């Protein structure tokens, strides 16, 4: 259990970069600002906006998918009811044939819906074929009325109603395709796959670990294979590979996801520009994460921190270099 306030994932990233830099920034509040910081803020706002649009389009596509299937089924049922009310006066064999075809199409559509509900088929595939089955069923029912020239006004009303419901299904199909195309465009541009379930902006709450040790807001969380997976975008220069400090930050997000979404993620994503890196979250990484948090507690208790590296490049790129007494350059 934590013996103090939680460390944010951002603090952990700064500490992993350089304990002294973290310490100088956490004292009286980090007042340092730079063009890089301002540019990064703008980029993250743009990212959040895109991810919110992606999430909204994904949610809309799911809703439209349901409406497509509901409208298509109701259309089919109305068509079959209309045929069942007919009196064919000697043409029963033909009428029963068309009615049988309509029932077969309805059973197929119902089976597709059941398989989709059991997650054995993809929703997008099901919604497409459900509409096809509904069209076939309605067409069979309409043929039974029009070609046999039976005078049944109520049955014709039922068939008209079924056609209107089918038009509604077609409208929702168009809206679904539009939403999915928009979602795919954003997903491709940002290289984000899966369903977005969290965006690290003001519309979503800060996440806290169960032990009270960590807090934070990952840039996004997606659902992949029934598990939540965090992702973090990094602005600025693009390194040759994921930086240790960024890996520690992502590991903290993995810990937060595990405690808030009920399942341990096996990995997370770090983005540098258009480059996407998959970072494993295993027992060794978690131990390292906890050890860094312990080091931070010790620094707070001792009321001091020191530089832990001999890399002039780090000091040269540090925003707190001007107030650092241990800088190398």
Q: Can you tell me whether residue 223 is helix, strand or coil?
A: strand
Least confident of 34-43, 191-200, 238-247: 34-43
Q: Between the CA of residue 209 and those of 216, 217, 259, what are the distances in Å?
A: 9, 12, 6
Stretch 99-118: mean pLDDT, rounded?
58
- pLDDT, tens only, 123-176: 555 555 666 666 666 666 666 555 555 556 666 666 677 767 777 777 777 787
- pLDDT, tens only, 260-303: 999 999 999 999 988 999 999 999 999 999 999 999 999 999 99
- Structural domain spans, the chain: 7-32+193-323, 56-190
Q: Between the CA of residue 288 and those of 4, 252, 279, 292, what are the distances in Å?
A: 19, 10, 14, 6
Q: Where are the alpha helices (DSSP H) in the chain?
A: 9-17, 19-26, 35-84, 92-117, 123-146, 153-190, 244-261, 283-302, 312-316
**Residue recorded with tokens 């500490």:** 15
Least confident of 34-48, 71-85, 210-224, 275-289: 71-85
**What is the torsion angle, in degrees rounded to the nearest 10, for the CA atoms of residue 57, residue 62, residue 64 and residue 70?**
180
CATH number for the 7-32+193-323 domain, one of 3.50.50.60, 3.90.320.10, 3.30.70.270, 3.40.50.2300? 3.90.320.10
Q: 0.85 exceeded by the pTM?
A: no
């Amino acid at each position: 259990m934590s013996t103090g306030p939680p460390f944010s994932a951002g603090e952990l990233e700064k500490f992993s970069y350089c304990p002294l830099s973290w310490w100088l920034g956490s004292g009286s509040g980090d007042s340092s600002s730079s063009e890089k910081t301002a540019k990064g803020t703008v980029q993250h706002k743009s990212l959040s906006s895109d991810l919110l649009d992606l999430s909204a389009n994904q949610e809309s596509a799911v809703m439209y998918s349901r409406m497509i299937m509901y409208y298509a089924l109701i259309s089919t049922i109305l068509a079959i009811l209309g045929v069942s009310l007919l009196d064919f006066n000697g043409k029963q064999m033909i009428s029963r044939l068309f009615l049988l075809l309509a029932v077969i199409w309805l059973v197929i559509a119902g089976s597709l819906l059941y398989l989709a509900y059991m997650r054995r088929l993809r929703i997008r595939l099901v919604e497409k074929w459900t509409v096809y089955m509904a069209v076939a069923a309605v067409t069979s029912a309409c043929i039974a009325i029009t070609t046999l020239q039976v005078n049944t006004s109520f049955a014709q009303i039922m068939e008209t109603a079924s056609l209107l419901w089918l038009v509604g299904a077609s409208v929702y199909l168009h809206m679904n395709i539009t939403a999915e195309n928009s979602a795919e465009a954003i997903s491709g541009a940002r290289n984000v796959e899966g369903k977005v379930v969290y965006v690290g902006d003001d519309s979503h709450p800060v996440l806290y670990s169960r032990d009270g040790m960590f807090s934070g807001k990952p840039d996004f969380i997606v659902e992949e294979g029934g598990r939540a997976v965090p992702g973090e975008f990094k602005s600025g220069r693009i390194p040759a590979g994921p930086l240790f400090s960024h890996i520690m930050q992502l590991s903290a997000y993995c810990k937060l996801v595990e405690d808030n979404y009920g399942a341990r993620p096996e990995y997370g994503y770090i983005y540098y520009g258009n480059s996407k890196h998959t970072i494993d979250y295993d027992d060794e990484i978690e131990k390292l994460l906890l050890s860094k948090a312990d080091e931070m507690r010790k620094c707070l208790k001792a009321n001091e921190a020191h530089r832990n590296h001999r890399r002039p490049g780090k000091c040269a790129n540090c925003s707190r270099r001007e107030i650092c007494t241990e800088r190398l350059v």
